[in-house]
Structure 1
Amino acid sequence: MEITQQNFWANLLDILEEIADAEFIALDLEMSGIWLKPVSNERMTMSNEILYQEAKRVAQTFHIVQFGMTCLRYNEKSKEYMTQTYNFNLTPMFVGTGDEDKCLAKTIDRSLTFSYNALVFLKENGFSLSEAFLNGVPYLSRPDAVDGREEYLKYLHSPQGKYTKELAEFEARTRERIKSLSSKGRLKPTRETHTLRIHHPGRDDDESTRNKERFVKWLVATELDDYCAWRYNDNFIVVERLDKTRREWQERSGRTFDNNVEAISRQSAFRFIIEALVGSDFANDITPQLLDDEKTTSRFGDKLGEAWKHLKSLEQKIKENQPVIIGHNHFYDLCFIYERFIGSLPSTKNDFRKELRQLFPRLVDTKHLAYVQQKHGDHSRESLADLFKVWKDQKHPRFVQDTSQQPEAHHAGHDSWMTAVVFGKMAVSMAKNDPKLMELDDEALERRRPSIDQLREEKRKKDAIKQARRREQRSLERRKKREAIIRPEDTTKFPALGTQPPAKHSPKWPPEKPTTTATTPTSAESNGGDKPSQDSTPSSKSDTSTSGPINPSLHAGSTAWSKIAKKGTLHEKKPGPTPDELAKKAEEEAEEEAKKAEQEEEAKFGPFRIPEWDMKLWTKHGNILRMRRGRSLHLTDPTTPVVDEGGKAVDKDAGVDPIKGADAP
């Protein structure tokens, strides 16, 4: 789904809901440049620290132009992953034309840098820079938002920095008066006192008068609840308490809305998505009035407070279950995300590693998974598109693609979807090849270890189920015995006790032909086989003179006998199956066996679902980022040792790969 400046606020709640419900979220970025000439020429002696410093320089120089995100949610009923993909074009431009917007743009003076090679690459893949700048989603970093508030407070005092002595004296005098009146209770909500007049002689066109009025309004809004300030005439500013009717009217019309807060919230737009991804607070910074559109109104009516409560509930839900973040070779992506939305990148690699663990405690790099999969086929040097071609045909797990998604390579949204598919297929394949990776790690086992009360309750439930099954079995046995003794539809007479039951009569087959002369079945055949002729009808004497028991329904000349005779010999052998029938039967048996094997695997792997984060798979291969020159950055706790596959401890700070050990390139 394409998210632009025009539909961002209308879809914000839906996007946050998808993040809150997602188990895994795949990210992909397109930047205005990804390479700078290295400072050091000693390429062969690069350490992880030098690689981090290079990535830091790149992230501080260039910008994010497109952000792709795919949310994965498992459907228990259909046994498949539902995906929702979003593509955000980001703009460095400032939106809004008010004084507060202009002040914000002056405060945060951005410099834009583009790499020529990056521009050519984006253009070849259909990216429109002008479209992104005009209709893209704006953003502010955390420090930018703080600086914007501080600068706007200065702007309230004096728009152009002309903080005169007269204005300073008026500010001090007014602040003390409002505080003293408030402390004495004269401005508390009572029936007698609702207004306060602040004297300030001046003219409408006087800049000093406008600055005084602006300051009083800001001071009342920050110091006093349920009050507003407005200019009465050239001599007074009135501070008046809002009654219920007037407050509701002003809330609907936006007159009590803090323009600065609105400007910062509107410009911060995309940062709220990042705050949700890192499990941080975002509801208090989102101005509810920005959500006041047709889509939000249809859900919550005119009650914007309900929309804000929903934001708070989503914020809490994401904090309780922060999704796993997936990326392909996304070390640079994470550096850009930190620099553009969180703050300035830390000075050292170790500090960055600690900060990253706090923001994204659960990370998976598909580049590292591909490197691990080299024993099953070396795909570690291939791009995301190549890996997608290799893994997309694997049957499980199944993914349902968003219908609004555009299948375009190097389109951040589509690339994030390919990353999600490659991740899911790889994870399931690794779990199938090594079932031990599906076991819970030590911490998860300790967390899930049941208490004594839980064990007792579980034993009580099992005993109750066993007793219920025994009662049902005994009841079934008694019912069968009663039915065996007497059945209403059975007329068999049981022999007396102590006597032997009569031998069962078993007629011979095929029946013997009668010894008396009679017409052969051919006479019946000559009459068409339906009715025997009068001459061929055997007499009653011939019936009684036959030797041995005979089935009376198959005596010579009977209709049944004639039908059998018409078909041919009684013991004629039926023809065997044709080769096509044999092939079809073999194919059906093979399909049945494959289906049975698949069901067994589904029962084992539950069913082809991506392993949960507390499995040993992610204890071993999670929180490892692939860097340049075949190196890895481990985000685990520095006090936790890392060992290679041979059990030998490796130095995480040296960038040694845990798969190959100290001999990694």
Structure 2
Amino acid sequence: MEITKNNFFEELDNITENLKRSSFVGFDAEFTAMLSGERFKHRLFDTNEDRYNLIKNEVGKILMTQVGLTMFQYNRDLDKYDAIGYTFHLCPQAFGDVDQFFIFQASTLQFLCKHKFDFNKFIYQGLRFLNKAEEDQIRQQLTAFDNLSNVLEMDGERQLQHYCSEVSWWLTNSDEGTMYLDIEDPILRYMTHNELRTRFDNILTTDSLGNSNKVLIYRDRYVEGANSAPLRILKDNLMSHLLGFSQIINLLAIYKKPIIGHNLFLDTILLHNQFIGPLPHKYVMFKQNIRNFFPKMYDTKHISYVVGKKLSLDEVWKSNALQDLYEFFSEGKCKRLEQGANFIRLTTPFDVKQSYHEAGWDSYCSGYIFIRLGHWAACELIGKYRPVGPTEKLSALEPYVNKVNVIRGAVLYMNLAGDDPPRQRPNLLHVKCIKERVINVSKVASSLAAYGSVDVKPYDVRTALVAASSHFTADKILKQFKNSADYRITPYSPIRHSAAGKMALWSGAILTTSIFLYFLHRKVNE
């Protein structure tokens, strides 16, 4: 189901109820841009902290334009899952001193066009959102009403003056005890309540029962049975409008349902920036904040990578891309993994032919894959293939909780629950150019590319460091270049190859020699 500002508040109670009843929630997002170019290229040298520090000041320009959530509800009697999928369309907003901004990258625009992204829905019907810092800023502005002079644009100001003139004419020329103003825009409605109360001392304003768009005005503020709408309620109503989709993020944090996604590294950073607040300076604080909001996150890309190593070649999937994994499982390509598997029913069908890279559909695919991977893991623990419920699946996949896949880095995953794992790639290699006085990094990379996936970076004028993707690749390079006339390639040693290490070695050697000569001199003089 598509959720926009036109139907969000109508569906909010249903969304909340479906979330409460779910065992876990599939998640996906589409972005306005991706960090690209040589500067942001993923390298095997990168630690997760390096990568976080590189991008933390840049992701503020990127927005999630769509968020997909699929609530998976388990029916124990029928041993099946009902999947209720939602695609939330988001759009930035301006209110008071908060003026959100973003960039649209040309390549991303082309990608979104290719996948039938609806830009009109994004701009005209997108839901508002606020992160916690922006929410606090607006609440402070609402408390100091004088600071809201820039909230309304010129048309809104004219309309506000028109409403005040209508009320003034009514008070002067009519004997009616009440009047209504029909104001659809929540911001203008809030401003009208406040402006009327400021200008006209004796009136009473409240929201009309049964129609939240109508402002009901009583001529006599002391009229029996009528109460002026408390300012707190008016503020809460306005904040609900301004928070928009952020209310769903808050519900996810309240109910603490496991979040299931695919390749979540950048998603977690954008989730923090867009809904929690500006990214902290320290990487460890970022991870802690994410875990406080979402205590359990599962990344099906990481799980599929680890689980795939435990299957035989004729059983395992050929790619762990989202679409390939979903089609592998949904088409039953490995019969052993299908034995006793739960039936999964998507209650709101998508147009499959056009829906990949549509956030709602991808969130469903992530949850579907998770159920199948959890089925395999639980059955392996039990020792036989039989039906298993969500509790057993989550228990079997507990080793993978809060481990987020990392693309082409020094380690395979980011651990949101603690320290990242130690480096799992081979030790770095040190390359020294023999024939040339200045090393050509591109030429070195081309020479080594035939032996596997590598990254090369300069170390000094005549040397470079090489990060290999596997021990097989590193060993092959060392073997092939053992007697090379062009390059001397050896395992990198900070002591032997760094300037500081060399200085320490020479200092140690000089000190040792000096001590030896001193005692030798004393011995001779005796």
Q: TM-score, normalised by structure 2?
A: 0.61
Aligned equivalent of 1:492? none
Q: Quick check: 7-16 or 111-120, which moved more?
A: 111-120
- TM-superposition CA deviations, 1:480-520 (whole Å, max 9, x none): xxxxxxxxxxxxxxxxxxxxxxxxxxxxxxxxxxxxxxxxx
1:402-421 matches, cutoff 5 A: 402-407=347-352, 408-421=355-368
Cα RMSD of the aligned pairs, angstroms, is 3.5
- Indicate the SS of the match to 2:9: helix
Change (3 A) 1:664 1:89: farther
Aligned equivalent of 1:276? 251
Number of paired residues? Answer: 361
How many angstroms does 1:129 deviate by? 1.2
- TM-superposition CA deviations, 1:519-576 (whole Å, max 9, x none): xxxxxxxxxxxxxxxxxxxxxxxxxxxxxxxxxxxxxxxxxxxxxxxxxxxxxxxxxx
How many angstroms does 1:633 deviate by? 0.8
Aligned equivalent of 2:388? 608
Q: What letter is aligned with 1:360? A: F
How many angstroms does 1:256 deviate by? 6.5
Aligned equivalent of 1:305? none
- Indicate the SS of the match to 1:65: strand
Partner residue of 1:355 out of 289, 307, 310: 289
Q: What CA distance in whole angstroms lies between the structure 2 residues aligned with 1:387 and 1:24?
A: 19
Aligned equivalent of 1:213? 198
1:19-38 matches, cutoff 5 A: 19-37=19-37
Aligned equivalent of 1:370? 304
- Indicate the SS of the match to 2:84: strand
Partner residue of 2:344 out of 399, 403, 410: 399
* Fraction of identical pairs, as percent: 23
Q: What CA distance in whole angstroms lies between the structure 1 residues aligned with 2:42 and 2:250?
A: 38
How many angstroms does 1:330 deviate by? 1.0
How many angstroms does 1:53 deviate by? 2.3
Alignment partner of 1:621 is 2:394: no
Partner residue of 2:121 out of 106, 128, 131: 131
How many angstroms does 1:124 deviate by? 0.4
* Counterpart contact for 2:378–2:392, Cα < 8 Å: no
Q: What letter is aligned with 2:324? A: D
Aligned equivalent of 2:51? 51
Q: What CA distance in whole angstroms lies between the structure 1 residues aligned with 2:389 and 2:218?
A: 65
Q: TM-score, normalised by structure 1?
A: 0.49
How many angstroms does 1:39 deviate by? 4.6
Q: What CA distance in whole angstroms lies between the structure 2 residues aligned with 1:627 and 1:413?
A: 23
Q: What CA distance in whole angstroms lies between the structure 1 residues aligned with 2:42 and 2:226?
A: 71
How many angstroms does 1:405 deviate by? 3.2
- Indicate the SS of the match to 2:133: helix
Q: What letter is aligned with 1:278? A: A
* Counterpart contact for 2:26–2:259, Cα < 8 Å: yes
Change (3 A) 1:338 1:160: closer
- Indicate the SS of the match to 2:279: coil
Larger Cα-atom Rg? 1
Q: What CA distance in whole angstroms lies between the structure 1 residues aligned with 2:127 and 2:348?
A: 22
Q: What letter is aligned with 2:323? A: A
* Counterpart contact for 2:305–2:320, Cα < 8 Å: no
Aligned equivalent of 2:226? 246
Alignment partner of 1:427 is 2:374: yes
* Counterpart contact for 1:60–1:339, Cα < 8 Å: yes
Change (3 A) 1:267 1:78: same
How many angstroms does 1:38 deviate by? 5.8
Q: What CA distance in whole angstroms lies between the structure 1 residues aligned with 2:99 and 2:138?
A: 11
* Counterpart contact for 2:375–2:393, Cα < 8 Å: no
Q: What CA distance in whole angstroms lies between the structure 2 residues aligned with 1:153 and 1:635?
A: 37
1:46-195 matches, cutoff 5 A: 46-93=46-93, 104=95, 106-156=96-146, 159=149
- Indicate the SS of the match to 2:10: helix
**Where does the alignment leave 5 or more consecutive residues of structure 1 unmatched?**
95-103, 162-209, 222-229, 233-237, 280-317, 437-599, 639-651
Q: What CA distance in whole angstroms lies between the structure 2 residues aligned with 1:390 and 1:58?
A: 36
1:535-614 matches, cutoff 5 A: 601-602=385-386, 607-612=387-392
1:217-228 matches, cutoff 5 A: none
Q: What letter is aligned with 1:88? A: F
Q: What CA distance in whole angstroms lies between the structure 2 residues aligned with 1:42 and 1:360?
A: 26
How many angstroms does 1:370 deviate by? 0.9
